Amino acid sequence: MINSSNDDLIIAPDIGKASDIYISNPFSNKDAEIFGYKGTLEVSGNMSVNIVLQRLYSQVKVEFTDQDLSAVKKIVLNQLHEPFFYSPFATGLLNPILDQSAIEIEDDFQSNKQVIFNQFMGLLNENKPVNYILNVIGDAGVLQSFELSSSLKNNIQLDFRGNLLEGAPNNVAFQITKNENWDGENEVSF
C-alpha cells in the first residue's frame, strides 16, 4: 500500500488474524493518492518480483457555472454515505469506520470555480451510492446548502456541474458525468 498524502490512513488497531485487517482514508484527507495490491505472492528464497499497484480511489469534481462567485468565502463538504473501507481478507465485515470529518476549502472561487477531492474506495468494482452535503459560506454565514448524490466505483472520475448560488435552495440542479478513463496515473510499479 502506498499513501501519497500528509495524513495517516485509518487502519485496524488490533489484528489477530487476516480477516481483522482493514484500511480507510479520512474524508478530510482530500488529496490522498492511495495505491495498493491484491494478489498472491509465493516467496521461494531470494527473488525479485515487479508488483503493479492499483489506484484505490476515485476523483470527485464539483464545477460551478455561476458568473459571480465573489460572495463565496468557503465551501464545506461532508459525506452522508457510510465511509468506505477496504478489507482484503473479509467480505462480510461490518463497517468499522466512524469518520465524520469534513473537507473545508477556502479559495478564490471567482477564479477557481471548482472543488476537487479524492474519494477512497478500496478495490471496489461495483457502483455504490455516494451522497454529499455541500455548504456554501460567505461573510454573513451559510449562503446555500444542498446535497449531491450519485453512485461511484473505484478508479473513475465523477463530475458534478452546475450553478452554486443561482436558483432556489431546494432547486439546485447539477449535470452528472462519469469518466472511467480519467487522467492521472492509475497504476504504479513498486
Cell 481478507 belongs to: 89
Span 100-150, pLDDT tens digits? 999 999 999 999 999 999 999 998 888 999 999 999 999 999 999 989 999
Cα–Cα dist 72/68, whole Å:
9
CA–CA–CA angle 92, 95, 101 (5° rounding): 160
3-state class of 18 per DSSP? Answer: helix
For residue 58, what is its C-alpha cell?
Answer: 476515485
Cα–Cα dist 15/25, whole Å:
18
Cα–Cα dist 90/139, whole Å:
48
Mean per-residue pLDDT for 63-75? Answer: 93
> Which pLDDT does position 168 carry in this prediction?
46
**In the chain, domain spans:** 2-189
Cα–Cα dist 106/139, whole Å:
12
pLDDT at 79 over 90: yes
> Which pLDDT does position 37 carry in this prediction?
85
Cα–Cα dist 113/167, whole Å:
17
Given 3-state DSSP classes, what are the helix, strand and coil percentages for the chain, each rounded to the nearest 5?
A: 0, 40, 55
pLDDT band at 173 (very low <50, low <70, confident <90, very high): confident
- Could you give the percent of the chain with pLDDT greater than 90? 57
For residue 107, what is its C-alpha cell?
Answer: 479559495
Cα–Cα dist 153/170, whole Å:
27
For residue 148, what is its C-alpha cell?
Answer: 449531491
In sequence order, the β-bridge partners of residue 116 are 61
pLDDT at 74 over 70: yes
Short-list 137, 141, 133, CA closest to 172 = 133
